[in-house]
Amino acid sequence: MKFILRHLFSVTSLGVINKSYYHTKSLKSNHTLKYYLETGEPIKALLNFRHRFRQSPSFIDSFSVLFAIKASSAEKASSFDGRQIHALVRKLGFYTIIQIQTSLLGLYSAAGDVDDARQVFDETPERQNLVLWTAMISAYTENDNTVKALELFQRMEAERIELDEVIVTVALSACADLGAVQMGERISSRSIKGNRRLGMDLTLRNSLLNMYVKSGEIEKARKLFDQTMRKDVTTYTSMIFGYALNSQAHESLELFKKMKTIDQSQDIVITPNDVTFIGVLMACSHGGLVEEGERHFRSMIEDYKLKPRDAHFGCMVDLFCRSGRLKDAHEFINHMPIKPNVVIWRTLLGACSLYGNIELGEEVQRRIFELDSDYVGDYVALSNIYASKGMWDEKSKMRDRVRKRRVPGKSWIELGSIITEFVSGNDDEQMIMGEISEVLKCLVACITSFECVIEKFNSNN
């Protein structure tokens, strides 16, 4: 595909587009591009686009470029490919068309190039378009840059751009990833205050519920759950997950039972989906309920005709591992109808490390190395098994095989309307370490002085 795109710009002179003369031919060619996209042949669409461009740039209109962007997105183009189409958009003067800019922004985002996506956003003249803002904030969220997503959302609010349920949902999702409950509550409150209709939107309420669940605010989550009169499968699933993640297996399973009974008596049939069963299996795992977990796994397949995914198999392996049944976990993996992924094997390796099973741990790590041999944690887990058995030479050899550093850890601090991100080893943070140390020294001095005053006061009395 890169070869195709590199030849898009071989024509040096674009000429002047005579819309009336070329309209019929452009329309016919665009139908061809659309046909290739609808039939799942993006490469043919790009070849056709290149041919038309080299034949005569005047055949290219805004629809042609939009189809080319969609074809590139379908082929998961790299950011380099996006830049070539971006250059064509600028040269033809199409950067004022919101649909093209939004699609181009999405192409960069899918390629993981958020900086170029932001450049598209910044150069778009029409800045009051809600879809454009939503696309950019989503790009940040999808590329694990939630802090910038929320900063941009705050800027959007400052510019008084009218919100809808989609953008608020995206913002709440970013808050959930950061655990920024206070900010999420402010966003929700301001949104509902500005538009009462949003307060009744179930998708938005589910997003707020999901934020509480991910942040560990289980009581607030249950209160919102009870206040939501019209619930759907997502509402129940989020709450089931919330209890499961907080090791409240009984509450999670009771809610699952209620979901299948009470609402049916009210002529509201809410059928659990595959995601619901992930929460149920997770609850069984955290509660050590092996037999019940096996029963729900069978029920998902036999009663609801749902096909298990990697996540379901992973939950079952975790269920066996947490209960110390490593042999059952290993046997379950070997009989899976799909090839186990590296996460499933690592779950078993972690259990081998916990229970000191050297023989199985070595076999599991061989399986892991066939899939991924560069993850530091795998070496550490096996070296810990050796250490637990006093096999120090083997432990040392395993540690010496580590070739890569761990991915730096991240943390966030929410203070008022500001969220600050800290990354281990970040040079920018090292620059302010001195200031942080001074503040800590002042705090320690103040606490010490206060304790002395209290002690003196108590001695006098």
Q: What is the mean pLDDT of residues 192-212?
A: 83
Give me 49's structure tokens: 């686009």
From the CB of residue 408, how many other CB atoms can be counted at a distance below 10 Å?
10
Task: Delimit the domains of the chain by residue range.
Answer: 1-126, 426-461
CATH no., domain 1-126 = 1.25.40
pLDDT in tens, 137-181: 999 999 989 899 999 998 998 888 888 889 999 999 999 988 889
pLDDT score at 33: 80
How is residue 144 written in tokens? 């694990």
Asked if 143 and 109 count as a contact pair (C-beta separation under 8 A), the reply is: yes
Task: Tell me, yes or no, if the pTM score tops 0.75.
Answer: no
- pLDDT, averaged across the chain: 80
* pLDDT tens column, 97-140: 888 899 999 989 988 889 999 999 998 888 788 999 999 999 99
Cβ atoms within 10 Å, residue 129: 15
43-73 residue pLDDT tens: 887 788 877 777 777 767 888 888 888 888 7
Which pLDDT value is given to residue 21?
44
